[in-house]
Amino acid sequence: MKIVIVGGGSVLWTPRLGCDFLLEKSLQGSELVLTDIDNEAAKLCARYMRAANAQLKSRWKISVAGINAALKGADLVLVSISTGSFEAMAVDYNVPEKFGIYHSVGDTTGPGGISRTLRNVPVFIDLARKMSKLCPDAWMLHVTNPLTQLTRAVERTGLIRTVGMCHEYTGMLGLLRGFFNAADTDIDSLCVGVNHFTVLKELTVKGVKDPMKQLTVANYIDFEKNRRTEITSNTVDDIVAQAAAKPGHILPHYLNFMLAEKWGFFPLAGSSHICESLPGINTSPETLASWSVYRKGVLPNRPQAKADRREKLIKTLNEKTSIPEAESRSREMVADAAVALLTGEPRRIIAACANRGQIDDLPREATVETWAMASRCGIHPVASGKLPPSVKGLMEQVVCEEELAVEAAMTGNFDTLVESLVASPMVTDKRVAPQLAKELIEGNRQYLPQFKDI
């Protein structure tokens, strides 16, 4: 079997996801091909993967190739890219601030997510066209943000089969496992929504009566007090105030538990993501801090993190120390999807794909995120019913924004772009949408061929 990683030079993604492939016994003897516009980065990651291959005494063939050679005859293509890299992301993050919109992440919804959609969609569609000619039967799995919009754009072409895969869900389940002091096998759930805005409809935890009712702010603060020595206050109000002085570090999931109390359903995305699908939170740094929401920023933090990670890989290779990612499988589900699609062994995954009935009351064909069963026959989402009434309207608004953003990215229609910004919950003053659209285009013009006449 031939697995290709597009964006294979990613020092943040390739070692983890690549080693997950290597650790799957049913995939032994397969071929892993890395391709990247940064060929030297791909070569470094290939060296690292070969070291992991040797450590595991597995039988993978690992190579680096140009995009066309890599795709030719591929069985599965994993995409992890970011068009324009950190400099373009900084535009997504900083331009909206001129209009009173303060992103906490900026890669999914709101002006930042819309801007990122505009420049990634043409690249994904070009890749889909290449795949349709060079490996028409291959699946595209991707972990690129904005996950929902890119999945939707590729599906709209009808050229290949695709699914988006995010680790936010498994990470949040990890939080709940710790909260309930539960083992992996003790907890199960049913989720509905779109990427970075899913909610738990149902939750079961072995030995816990009515677990959803336990998800309160007070219980959450008790949980954090037991593992964070920096919490020095005693009352809930004082601890929340202390958290606001250092957002995201003392009570990183305060917003989740507050929303769970109000909605009756727990939001399964980190606070920095979930707030960007809601109105009235990303209006100022002070408001974000009052919800204990951490602003990730872009420059210089993320480039430095990437550089540090690269140096760590080089040091591991030079000193010939153990490859940590090769010691055990992560909770990422990409390898599970690969095993299911390529070998036929059924596995359950979280998948972002076209709504063909898995969520009753969101638009058909819009990309939604639920549990799904994967096998050689494909990826089949689990019927998950209706949205909770308390979040239905909010989620419909986000879907509207995302659908319009995809349409704008595929057509280069400026008016549709403005409509997407108007639909966004983050854009509270709708009057700024036309000027905001113009400045987002100007900031990333080199990556937006579809808007050449604007």
Task: Give yes or no for a contact between 369 and 354, defined as CB atoms under 8 angstroms apart.
Answer: no
Spatial distance between the Cα atoms of 330 and 174, rounded to a whole number of angstroms: 12
Q: What is the pLDDT of residues 316-329, one digit of tens each?
A: 999 999 999 999 99
SS (H, E, C) the chain: CEEEEECCCCCCCHHHHHHHHHCCHHHCCCEEEEECCCHHHHHHHHHHHHHHHHHHCCCCEEEECCHHHHHCCCCEEEECCCCCHHHHHHHHHHHHHHHCCCCCCCCCCHHHHHHHHHHHHHHHHHHHHHHHHHCCCCEEEECCCCHHHHHHHHHHHCCCEEEECCCHHHHHHHHHHHHHCCCHHHEEEEEEEECCEEEEEEEEECCCCCHHHHCCHHHHHHHHHCCCCCCCCCCHHHHHHHHHHCCCCCCCCHHHHHHHHHHCCCECCCHHHHHHHCCCCCCCHHHHHHCCCCCCCCCCHHHHHHHHHHHHHHHHHHHCCCCHHHCCCCCCCHHHHHHHHHHCCCEEEEEEEECCCCCCCCCCCCEEEEEEEEECCEEEECCCCCCCHHHHHHHHHHHHHHHHHHHHHHHCCHHHHHHHHHHCCCCCCHHHHHHHHHHHHHHCHHHCHHHCCC
- Structure confidence at residue 378 as a pLDDT band (50, 70, 90): very high
- Structure confidence at residue 429 as a pLDDT band (50, 70, 90): very high
- Structure confidence at residue 299 as a pLDDT band (50, 70, 90): confident
Task: Give yes or no for a contact between 117 and 107, defined as CB atoms under 8 angstroms apart.
Answer: no
Residue 61 has what pLDDT?
98
The whole-number average pLDDT for the span 407-411 is 98
Q: What is the pLDDT of residues 241-284, one digit of tens each?
A: 999 999 999 999 999 999 999 999 999 999 999 999 999 999 99
* pLDDT above 90 for 453: no
Which residue is associated with the tokens 């909610």?
A: 199
The dihedral built from the CA positions of residue 15, 17, 23 and 29, taken in this order, carries a sign that is negative
Q: What is the pLDDT of residues 202-230, one digit of tens each?
A: 999 998 999 999 999 999 999 999 999 89
Instruction: Look over the chain and give the mean of its residue pLDDT values, rounded to a whole number.
Output: 96
Q: What is the pLDDT of residues 143-154, one digit of tens each?
A: 999 999 999 999
Among 352, 374, 371, residue whose Cα is nearest residue 191? 371
The dihedral built from the CA positions of residue 9, 15, 20 and 26, taken in this order, carries a sign that is positive
Among 293, 279, 302, residue whose Cα is nearest residue 104? 293
Class of domain 95-106+166-296+332-454: alpha beta
* pLDDT above 90 for 454: no
* pLDDT above 90 for 234: no
Q: What is the pLDDT of residues 83-136, one digit of tens each?
A: 999 999 999 999 999 999 999 999 999 999 999 999 999 999 999 999 999 999
Q: What percent of the chain has pLDDT over 90?
A: 97
Question: Is 65 exposed, middle or buried, given 0-12, 13-18 or 19+ CB atoms closer than 10 A?
Answer: middle
Task: Give yes or no for a contact between 432 and 438, defined as CB atoms under 8 angstroms apart.
Answer: no
The whole-number average pLDDT for the span 6-10 is 98
Residue 452 has what pLDDT?
86
pTM for the model: 0.97
Which residue is associated with the tokens 């057509």?
A: 411
Q: What is the pLDDT of residues 161-174, one digit of tens each?
A: 999 999 999 999 99
- Structure confidence at residue 382 as a pLDDT band (50, 70, 90): very high
Spatial distance between the Cα atoms of 148 and 166, rounded to a whole number of angstroms: 10
The whole-number average pLDDT for the span 376-393 is 96
- Structure confidence at residue 238 as a pLDDT band (50, 70, 90): very high
